[in-house]
Structure 1
Amino acid sequence: MITIPIILRTRSNSLATWVHRGTSDKLVVCLSGIGRVREQPPSYEFAFNATSGGKHSVLFIADPNRTWLNGSGLINNICEEVDTFQKECGTSRTIAAGHSMGGFSALVLPDFLKIDAVLAFAPQLSIHPDVVPDETRWEYYRNRIDAFRIKTVADHFNEDTTYTVISGSHRKEAAQRDRFPRMSNLRRYIVPDTHHNVPQKLKQLGILDKIFHAAIHNQPRKLRLMLEKDANAKLVL
C-alpha cells in the first residue's frame, strides 16, 4: 500500500491544514466533512484519491468547529492558505473537493478565489433553517453557529468554474439534492441505492480514484460515462 506523506501546516481552534507536495502542476484543495466522532475535530480526507497516489499537491483543510464556512474570518484564512500554497506549488490548475460539509465548502470557495473545478460528494446546499426547513440531520452543529455568513451555496456560484455534484438517491438526501439550481456549468449526478455515503459507494465500486482523476484532468465526458456505466448514475438535465 502506498504511503502518502502529509505534513501538518497549521492548527488553531478555528482551522487545521495539512499539505502534500506532489510533482505535478495540479493542486487539489480538499475540505473535510464533520468527521465521525463529535468529540474530536475532523481530520483530512481523500489522501490517496486527491493526490492520485502522491502525484498531485493537495492542501487539506478542516474546520474544527463545523461551521460550514460561517466561522468569523474563516474564509479569509482559508483563502490565504490556498493562495500561498498555489504560489509555492506553481499551480496551473486548482480543484476543490469534499464530501458533505466539505462538498458544501468546496462549492462556495470559487466565489472567493480562483478555482477551476469543483468535485462535491453529497454536499449540502444549505443548513440554514429558512432555506432547508425540512433538514434536521445537522441541528447540533447548526445551533452552534452564531451568525450565518454563508446562507446557501446558490448565492456563490460563478460562470467560470466547472461544478460536479454527485448525490445519493435516498429520500433523506432530497432536502439538499433537489434544491440545487440548474446551470450550464453545473453537472449533477444521482447514484441509485445510495444514501449520504456517496464516496464510500464509489470506492466500493472501484471508481473513486478514477472520478478524482477525471475531475483533476478536466475530463467531464470520461467522468460522465464512468458514472453512468459503473455506478448506474443519472445525469440531472
Structure 2
Amino acid sequence: MAPTIDTVLQDEELLLRWLPGSARRMIVVFTGVQAGFGGAPLDEFAASASRRGENNVLFVTDRRATWYSAPGLWSKIVKLVRYLRRSEGIEEIVTLGNSMGGYGALLLPQDLRVKRAIAFSPQLTLARDLTDDTRWPDIMKRYGKMPARNVGETFASTRTQYYLTAGGGCREDIDHLEFAPQDKRVHRWILPRGRHNLAGSLKETGILYDLIGAIIRGRKARVEALYQRYSEMVEGPSRPAIPVQGETP
C-alpha cells in the first residue's frame, strides 16, 4: 500500500504535510497555494521528490502567500524543519520549489544545512527598488521585512549547491536569475520557450521526474542532457545544447 500524505500542522498561516520515505534524506518542498499564484498545486512535486517512497518529503505551504514574511512565520518553519530532521534521523536535506516556493527553497540553506536547492522560475527578490517585476503583491509594504530582501545574497554564507531554471519566454524570470551570484556552486539554465509555469511544461514533456532525480543526486551532466532533450522536443533537433548561464569555470 502506497504511503499517504499526512497533515502534521495546519493553522491560519502555515500548512505542513508529511510523506514518509525509507532513506535518511528529506526533500523540503515549498508549495504554492494554488496553480497560477505563487507556485504549483500542493502535490505537484510529490512523485518526483518521493522517488517511489525512497525520500521523506515535507510539503511547506505559506497559506496566505506572504512569501514567508508574515511575522514569525519563517522562524516557525525553520524550527519545525529542524525538529523533523532530528526526530526522523535525517542526514541530508534537499529543497525544491516553484515560483514563490522557489524563493523558499533558496532561502532555507541560510538557516539549515541543505545539500542542494532546486528552484524553478523563482523570484529572488520582491524589493520594489531592486526589481520592476510587479506580478506579485508589494509584500514588504503589506507585511514588513522579508526573511531575505534578496535571497541571492545569502548564497555565499552556505555550502549548498543551487540549481535555478527559468523559461526563455518569461523576461521577468530571466531577470530574477541575475540576482544569483556567479559562483561554481550556482547552476543556472534558461530553457527555450518556457514561461512562468516551467515546471508544468517539464512535467508535460515527461522530463520532470528524471530531472529532479538527477539534481537530488547531484548529477549535473545528466541534468544538462535532460535539458538538451527538452530543448530538442520544443525547438527541434537542430537546437544547440542549453548553455549554462552565469557560472564561473
TM-score, normalization by structure 2: 0.85
**Percentage of pairs with the same residue:** 27
| Residues in 1 aligned to 2:52 and 2:142: alpha-carbon distance in whole angstroms | 37
Comparing 192-201 with 77-86, greater Cα deviation is found at 77-86
| Residues in 2 aligned to 1:172 and 1:79: alpha-carbon distance in whole angstroms | 29
Match of 1:144 in 2: 142
Match of 1:228 in 2: 228
Tell me how many residue pairs correspond in the alignment. 232
Q: Are the counterparts in 2 of residues 31 and 45 from structure 1 also a CA contact under 8 Å?
A: no
Match of 1:81 in 2: 80
For the residue of structure 2 that corresponds to 1:235, the secondary structure is: coil
- Residues 88-167 of structure 1: matches in 2 within 5 Å? 88-132=87-131, 134-139=132-137, 143-157=141-155, 158-167=157-166
**Does the alignment pair 1:190 with 2:199?**
no
Comparing 81-90 with 224-233, greater Cα deviation is found at 224-233
Q: Provide, for residues 80-106 of structure 1, a one-character-per-residue CA deviation record: whole Å limited to 9, x for no partner.
A: 111122123322221000000000111
For the residue of structure 1 that corresponds to 2:143, the secondary structure is: coil
Moved over 6 A (4+): none
Q: Are the counterparts in 2 of residues 14 and 63 from structure 1 also a CA contact under 8 Å?
A: yes
Unaligned ranges ≥5, structure 1: none
Unaligned ranges ≥5, structure 2: 233-241
| Residues in 2 aligned to 1:95 and 1:8: alpha-carbon distance in whole angstroms | 20
Q: Which amino acid aligns with 1:67?
A: T
Kindly tell me: are residues 34 and 121 of structure 1, through their superposed partners in 2, closer, same or farther at Cα, counting changes over 3 Å?
Answer: same
Match of 2:64 in 1: 65
Q: Alignment RMSD, CA only?
A: 2.1
TM-score, normalization by structure 1: 0.89
TM-superposed CA distance for 1:140, in Å, is 6.3
Q: Which amino acid aligns with 1:71?
A: A
TM-superposed CA distance for 1:218, in Å, is 2.2
Q: Are the counterparts in 2 of residues 126 and 153 from structure 1 also a CA contact under 8 Å?
A: yes
TM-superposed CA distance for 1:137, in Å, is 0.4
Q: Are the counterparts in 2 of residues 31 and 97 from structure 1 also a CA contact under 8 Å?
A: yes
Q: Are the counterparts in 2 of residues 25 and 56 from structure 1 also a CA contact under 8 Å?
A: yes
